Amino acid sequence: MPFIFASILAFSQYPIAIPTTPASLLWALPVSLGIAAVYKAVKLEEFTWPLFVREVSLLFVTIIGALIATALCLLILARFVGLL
């Protein structure tokens, strides 16, 4: 256990470099998946693994869809205002 903890401390001594590229937006995926998993673990009335996986997938897709829709709205707004 101390070895695992020491390894975690060692590998994360400095922040990793994340460039400002479109690919950096993919960092939103793990956090969305985590939120979907915990939320559904709390909210499901009857917990069965197939149902859980289905519900988490649905929520995950919904979150990503909402993010994309928000991005599109902001893009349209920016074009309309004349920022782009």
Nearest approach in angstroms of CB 79 to another protein is 25
Interface residues toward another protein, by CB under 8 A:
5, 8-9, 11-20, 24, 27, 30-31, 34-35, 37-39, 41-42, 44, 47, 49, 52
Q: Which residues contact 33 (CB under 8 A, 6 or more apart)?
A: 56, 60
CB of 21 to another protein, least distance (A): 10
Minimum CB distance to another protein, residue 35 (Å)? 6
